Structure 1
Amino acid sequence: MPTFHPAGRPHSAVDGRLSNFPSAAGVALPADDPSCELLREENAQLKQALESRPVIDMARGVLMATFRCTSQDAWWVLVTVSQHANTKLRVVAEALVAATGGEPMPEDLSRHLADAVNAAREK
């Protein structure tokens, strides 16, 4: 049986699961509770992922338009550059998007990008 929000609309599946946690029911967890720290870390990671998503999607679009590749190939290029340059994917995406505005791309990222695009074309 679905539960309902005070405003009269059904809770989402996530809302229903969260209501089982004491902190979601208005009871604070002890600050030294290990599960509390794990939830904080996961929350921070999810927040960062949501904030990074738009620039990553823009970078994929830049690659797709510039090199006429698929979305999957653009993703592969970004991941490959990130791994080979040992740089966070978000940072690679930010540099690529900034380059469309005239900012120079760091030399190592530019080199890895050229290599990844060439490898994607050979696939």
Structure 2
Amino acid sequence: MTYKPVAAGVRDRGLLSRKARRGELTLFDVCDHGQRHAGIHARMWFRDKGTAKRVAEHRIKVHETVAGDVIDVGYSEPGGYGTNAPRNSMWATLTELHSVHWIYERLAFRRFRFRAG
């Protein structure tokens, strides 16, 4: 949540944020949300090209409404945000792949045992 456009999108349009504001958010919702995101991204990065294209098209459709005029009301100069904007898509891609790479480095070369450093 350190990247302000993503924080703004979650704040303004996120399903979990809307449920939390209504007082309806449960732990099940949080777990379900994480599971959905992990599942869709794994298919996009590690399956065949056709699957990746279908998942990417679905992701673009789902996130069309995640856009707003102001990232931070206290600092409005940067302008708005949009999940499908190139800078935000690139940030999300690099963040996801960095996490996958970190896990691979930590586990794959150590016979699936975690060792720091």
TM over 0.5: no
Compare the two structures and name the one with the higher helix fraction. Answer: 1
Question: Normalized against structure 2, the TM-score is what?
Answer: 0.30
Higher relative contact order (CA 8 A, sep 6+): 2
